[in-house]
Amino acid sequence: SPSAADCLLDIAEDYWPQWPVGTSWYGLGEGTRRRLAQADIDCDTPDQGDTSEALLQNSGLQQLEGQRFLLAAGEGGRTLLADSLTERGAQVTRLSLYRREKPKLNPVQIQQLLTATIDALVATSGESVAQLVSFMDNAQQWQRYHTPLLVPSHRVAEFASTQGFDQVIDTQGANPEAIVSALKLLATSASVKG
C-alpha cells in the first residue's frame, strides 16, 4: 500500500545509502508504484486491479523456490499474499510498519455525521466496512445501509453485502481514480433516475 511504501522508505533510507541492486519490487497498485517511483524504485504492479489476487498473477511471482521476500504491510490484515508466496517456495518475512485504528470521533463530529445528507459511502477495505458497521450500529443509523457503498474489490463487496448493505458497488480498485470514476457513474445514474 502507499502507507507501507512511505513507512518502508522512511525506515530503509536510514540503513541503505542506496537501494540494493538486483532487487525486484512489487506493489498492489498505482499509488504504491508512484510512491516508490519518487524514490527512483521501479515497481511491478498488476495490469488489472490492485488486490493481492491480481498481484499474484504476475509472471515473476510464480516459481519462487529459495527466493527471499520482505512483505512490508500494515499490522493485521489478510495473509493471502504471504501464504501464496510461501506455497510457491519463497521465504517470506513480514514487516508490519503501521497500524490501522478506528477513528475516534468527538460528540460534535458524530452529530454532524448523523445529520448530514450522505449520497454515498466509501470503504477501502474490509476493516473499514467493519468499522463503518460498528459506527452505524452504535449510532442506530440503519437507514445508512440503503446508501450506496463503494468498495475496492469483489471480496470486500461480498463482505459488505453480508453486513447488510444493499447497494454495494465494486470500484475495482482503492486508488482515487477508481473511486472518482465510480462516483461519477453513480452521480450520472442518480441524475438519470431523478
Q: Tell me whether residue 159 is in a domain.
A: yes
* pLDDT tier for residue 139 given thresholds of 50, 70 and 90: low
Tell me how many degrees the CA angle 89-72-87 measures, rounded to the nearest 5: 15
Mark whether 128 and 82 lie in a shared domain: no
Q: pLDDT at position 64, please?
A: 95
| Chain mean pLDDT for the chain | 86
Q: pLDDT at position 156, please?
A: 92
Q: pLDDT at position 30, please?
A: 83
Mark whether 13 and 93 lie in a shared domain: yes
Q: Higher-confidence residue: 185 or 19?
A: 185
Alpha helices in 13-167 (DSSP H): 30-37, 52-55, 80-87, 107-115, 126-138, 154-162
Q: pLDDT at position 103, please?
A: 78
Proportion of the chain above pLDDT 70, given as a percent:
94
CA 54/CA 137 separation, integer angstroms? 33
Chain CA centroid to CA 4, Å: 11
If DSSP codes are grouped into helix, strand and coil, which group holds residue 18? coil
Q: How confident is the model over 112-126, as a mean pLDDT?
A: 84
19-43 pLDDT, tens digit each: 878 889 999 888 888 889 998 899 9
CA 85/CA 40 separation, integer angstroms? 25
* pLDDT tier for residue 70 given thresholds of 50, 70 and 90: very high
Which domain-ending residue is among 40, 73, 98?
98
Q: pLDDT at position 62, please?
A: 94
* pLDDT tier for residue 115 given thresholds of 50, 70 and 90: confident
Q: Tell me whether residue 192 is in a domain.
A: no
107 pLDDT higher than 90: no
Give the structural domain span for 136. Answer: 107-187
Q: pLDDT at position 144, please?
A: 67
Mark whether 93 and 9 lie in a shared domain: yes
Q: Higher-confidence residue: 180 or 193?
A: 180
Q: pLDDT at position 160, please?
A: 94
**Domain holding 163: CATH number?**
3.40.50.10090
Regarding pTM above 0.75, the answer is no
Mark whether 136 and 179 lie in a shared domain: yes
192 pLDDT higher than 60: no
Q: Tell me whether residue 194 is in a domain.
A: no
Q: Tell me whether residue 45 is in a domain.
A: yes
Tell me how many degrees the CA angle 96-89-20 measures, rounded to the nearest 5: 55
Q: How confident is the model over 136-164, as a mean pLDDT?
A: 83
Q: Beta strands of 21-128 (E only): which ranges?
A: 68-74, 91-98, 121-122
